[in-house]
Chains A and B, each alone.
Chain A
Amino acid sequence: MAVKILAETLLSIRHIAKRFGDNTVLDDLSLDVHKGEVIVVVGPSGCGKSTLLRCINALEPIQAGEILLDGEPIKPDGKNITELRQKVGMVFQSYDLFPHLSVLDNIVLAPRKVQKRAKAEAEAEALTLLERVGLKDKAASYPRELSGGQKQRVAIVRALCMHPEMLLFDEVTAALDPEMVREVLDVILKLATQGRTMLIVTHEMQFARAIADRVIFLDGGNILENTPPEIFFTNPQTERARQFLNMFEFAAVKHHAPAED
């Protein structure tokens, strides 16, 4: 993979702490994301990957530290929070389309109501984006008429239509049937080639390896590894990362000729 010249910092997470009651989920965590960078976040279940993304989008308040986007602090009760959220697109694991709106209306709702864009212009862009993910003919359908993979592609388009500077993906394929995982990952891969800045949480290790500029390994509330994928997957620096990666390996099982009866 070509080494990207590090562009300016888009997102700066500085010494943040996140607690739920006594449960400290993120502890003095810092991370910089540069423009155009694709960062994959991995780690065991419950280590706080979703929480980290939710803090970045101010869906969760943080107890210490700060998160800066373009140099501006992100706070749930901040005055400019809706402007900042427009710069960050997020796609969740659960299908989060609005069930009462058609695909097209799902996509243009925020551009129209939040960004006050003209209906014709927003719809034209939505249709172009839908076409790119192969769903133009579904514009008038309702979410319940779509497969899981189609729903996630619409959710991605919905985020893109707001022209975000950065995209957050939280295990967007985890709830999908295996045969639908690929169609969604392909869309995300295409976004990476367009130079999008992305923070991706995933359990698809092959995909992580293919797309990431950097892999972040999160455990025990902090970042244990922050390395290019070639290093992370072949020569992880910490024991915990090694153990984590081992979970994805399967020992060969011999099927032939039972040794004893």
Chain B
Amino acid sequence: MEPKIKIRDMNFYYGDNKALKDINMNIYEKKITAFIGPSGCGKSTFLRTLNRMNDFIEDTRVEGKITLDDIDIYSKDIDPVELRRKVGMVFQRPNPFPKTIYENIVYGLRKNGVNDKQILDEVVEDTLKSVALYDEVKDKIHKSALELSGGQQQRLCIARAIAMQPEVILMDEPTSALDPISTMKIEELLLDLKENYTIIIVTHSMQQAARISDETAFFLNGEVIEHGETKVIFSNPRDKRTEDYITGRFG
């Protein structure tokens, strides 16, 4: 199968600090790829290169090539705003807008000129159902999103991302601020979502990576040490450092 995203000889710099070194990776469609590795090894940085969120950080630089469906996302004719519509993102801390639940979900659609109330209502209901939030919030869809619990807020943020019908969803530790039950709900949700989306998730939880991902990449000091099928990585890692990290003997 053709990879959805291809990363070739990629380096990333914060000023003079080379945060990612010589990355080569294929990411496949309709699979969950997990990034694991110790703090500061460059997982978030890498994730942000895939939807060009690093563009907002002053004095940063990318070398090499990243393609989405064989189109170079750093080429001059690519509009990063357009790219981010295709490559959605969910953040570590839930960050709903200080608006109603409804307005949070339709924000992106309205922005793109979709104003038909019927369509918007439908999208709100569908996306809330697909993140398993509908029953919990159906009576307060027009209330502030900030009244939701952290776990509900995070599912709302996922709904907000899905409403844009992206092709790829990037998630940076989406459950690290949540309790075990909310975490479980989101994990189930991701397994459902991968039928339609390509998902990349950064996580500090080995169990989470093992439970939900098809592929796992282990990062260390800005390098990808090992990348392959999750089963293989967890049962039979090639590199000693990978083994040390996943068994908790690291550092």
Are A and B genuine complex partners?
no
